[in-house]
Structure 1
Amino acid sequence: MKRLFALILAPLVLAAGCSEDEDILPAQKDKIVSYLKGTHTPNLVAEADVEEGSNQPYYTVSGDAVYRYIQDLYNPDRVNWTEVTGASTVTITFRAYVFNYANIVTTGSTMTMPYYTNDPVLKAAFEQAGLNTEWWSFEPLTIDMKHPGILKGLSDALLGCREGDTVEAYMTYNMAYGDDHFGIIPKESPVAWFFTVNSVE
């Protein structure tokens, strides 16, 4: 009887020891990659899959799970733009979204509304929607990369960018707000940050 009880109890103990995180993180990574390769416009490939000499748009992966697309990557003048390093001070204008693996619409009447932004273009849209923007700053965000004080995923996404870049960064929940609710952001949410690098010093 003791042996039978032990056999019944063992799977329950093993199941209790498994973390949901072990399932959520790989699933989020897979869904982000699937979105970038299939739904994103333009379709993207992983950096390692770009053929030599090609100007194919691609995404890079940094940190644990930050997927970054730089729109201006093939601009011939980009090599002269100042690069973001771990010692830089950077200013950005951004829009931050809870990411649901679908296209984020940035203009027009069906625009996807960010959960936070400092983009002055959106101030009027927010006010028309009845949001009080009195306490929001629509000035560029200044980030000291030595002590960034921002999301780990955003810090990772900034490294290697250059002044003038327009960037999309998609990150899994562990690189964003973790496994707790954060304001209006649901628990374990992947997020997307669209930003322009205004200046690099």
Structure 2
Amino acid sequence: MKRPFAILFCAAALLLGGCSQEEDTLSGQREKLVSYLERTHSPSLIPDTSVEEGSQLPFYTVAGNSVYRYIQNVYDPDRANRPEVGENSTVAITFRAYVFEFSNITDSTFPFWSNDPLLESAYQELGLSVGEGGWTFEPLHVSMNGNILNGLRLALLGCREGDDVEAYMTYNMAYGDSSFSTIPSESPIAWFFTVDAVE
């Protein structure tokens, strides 16, 4: 009788340990993302909850507890007149997507996927041909109620046409705990995108 109880106890401990490890990973990624945005990012950002009325300080918002978004042109006086991304919108974006290493992304950081025409010409100058591997350098059309990454959906909601956006997300909002193509498992992801059109 004691033996089955011991087996069940060990199995329960392993299950709980797995959950705890997953939460530790998520918690650690969240902490590192906040630290990066507030200390390393240029410009340094503050959470939107700390923005005082009338302030022009750059800030980030958090969606779903795991998607951190910075809209570079949020204080543009004409922004409120542009179409806003909603639950049923179709959005065209030009983007660069990176495995995020909690450090600044520079021009020499290679994205795992992009449709930015500036990259196409830069890569051609270097003799690289990423377009032949399935990349297209046309705007990506995203249906908000279609099959897209949850983190990208959360990052797009509330954006407006013409916005320049940086979105950082923990692995559970991106590709999860399995490897996907060249993306290692449990990788935080950064999407840099411009909202070209909203329908």
Given the two structures, how large is their TM-score scaled by the length of structure 1? 0.89
On the 8 A contact 1:88/1:144 being kept in 2, the answer is yes
Q: Which secondary structure state, in structure 1, belongs to the residue aligned with residue 30 of structure 2?
A: helix
Distance 2:97 2:11 in 1: 40
> In the TM superposition, what is the alpha-carbon distance from 1:15 to its structure 2 partner?
5.0
Distance 2:53 2:173 in 1: 31
> How many pairs were matched up?
192
Counterpart in 1 of 2:138? 139
On the 8 A contact 1:64/1:175 being kept in 2, the answer is no
Distance 1:187 1:131 in 2: 26
Counterpart in 1 of 2:13? 14
Distance 1:136 1:164 in 2: 23
The 1:124/1:69 distance shift into structure 2, 3 A limit, reads: same
> In the TM superposition, what is the alpha-carbon distance from 1:150 to its structure 2 partner?
1.5
> In the TM superposition, what is the alpha-carbon distance from 1:87 to its structure 2 partner?
1.5
The 1:74/1:16 distance shift into structure 2, 3 A limit, reads: same
**Long gaps (5+) in structure 2:** none
Q: Which secondary structure state, in structure 1, belongs to the residue aligned with residue 131 of structure 2?
A: coil
> In the TM superposition, what is the alpha-carbon distance from 1:131 to its structure 2 partner?
3.9
The 1:161/1:132 distance shift into structure 2, 3 A limit, reads: closer
On the 8 A contact 2:131/2:137 being kept in 1, the answer is no
The 1:52/1:138 distance shift into structure 2, 3 A limit, reads: same
- State percent identity of aligned pairs: 56
Alignment of 1:1-201 (within 5 A): 14=13, 17-19=16-18, 20-105=21-106, 107=107, 111-127=108-124, 128=126, 130-134=128-132, 135-147=134-146, 149-201=147-199
Residue-by-residue CA offset, 1:43-78 (whole Å, 9 max, x unaligned): 111110112211111000112410000000001111
Q: Which secondary structure state, in structure 2, belongs to the residue aligned with residue 91 of structure 1?
A: strand
> In the TM superposition, what is the alpha-carbon distance from 1:146 to its structure 2 partner?
2.4
Q: Which secondary structure state, in structure 2, belongs to the residue aligned with residue 83 of structure 1?
A: coil
Residue-by-residue CA offset, 1:60-116 (whole Å, 9 max, x unaligned): 0112410000000001111111111112111000000000000011x3xxx211110
On the 8 A contact 2:116/2:137 being kept in 1, the answer is yes
Q: Which secondary structure state, in structure 2, belongs to the residue aligned with residue 93 of structure 1?
A: strand
Higher alpha-carbon deviation: 169-178 or 130-139: 130-139
> In the TM superposition, what is the alpha-carbon distance from 1:129 to its structure 2 partner?
5.3
Given the two structures, how large is their TM-score scaled by the length of structure 2? 0.89
Could you tell me which amino acid in structure 1 is paired with residue 149 of structure 2?
A: L
Distance 2:11 2:144 in 1: 46
> In the TM superposition, what is the alpha-carbon distance from 1:130 to its structure 2 partner?
3.0
Residue-by-residue CA offset, 1:8-59 (whole Å, 9 max, x unaligned): x968852553122111000000000000000001111111011221111100
**Long gaps (5+) in structure 1:** none
Distance 2:127 2:109 in 1: 13
